[in-house]
Amino acid sequence: MSDAKLIPSVVQIEAKILQIRGQRVMLDADLAQLYGVETKVLNQAVKRNLDRFPQDFVFRLNASEKSEVVTNCDHLAALKYSPTLPFAFTEHGALMLGNVLKSERAVEVSLLVVRTFVHLRELVSTHKELSQKFDQLERKVAGHDRAISELINAIRQLMSPSTPDKKRPIGFAPWEKK
């Protein structure tokens, strides 16, 4: 099987992107699988090039985050018994891994990972725009509801028979005796 067939799709990568500490990240085990290397090799490459991986590119999960990830993600069940805490790579860290690993596959996969992160960012912005439009529509409809309610009340008042005042009949009529 050739390397081209092993390159994952955007959908497969999206499934491996997690939300941790308010950031979208990918774990070292998932990235190692995508880049076609062992997790140990990937982490060694990171340790050899620490100056390329500042805290906003990569961070290590704590024990509670690790257990939460293992609980919520079935494909990460093997991490449950791992004695080391996994690294979490942001979009920039995943791209930097492609530069550090220096293989053709790493370059292709890192570009695909970045495109996936960009795609997710576009989806989020689209959802924000839709949310704002729904809020505007809701405010508009609420105003219409009030106007319709007032119209219905006015129509009901017009439909209800009014009590006419007792008036004298028109024309010649004998006066009523009191």
H or E element in which residue 159 lies: helix 104-159
CA distance 107 to 34: 11
Residue pLDDT, tens place only, 78-112: 777 788 888 898 888 888 888 888 777 877 887 78
Q: Other C-beta atoms within 10 Å of 7: how many? A: 14
pLDDT at 2: 43
**In this structure, what are the phi and psi dihedrals at residue 21, rounded to the nearest 5 degrees?**
55, 35
CA distance 118 to 87: 21
Per-domain residue ranges of the chain: 3-121
CA distance 144 to 32: 56
Supply the pTM of this predicted model: 0.61
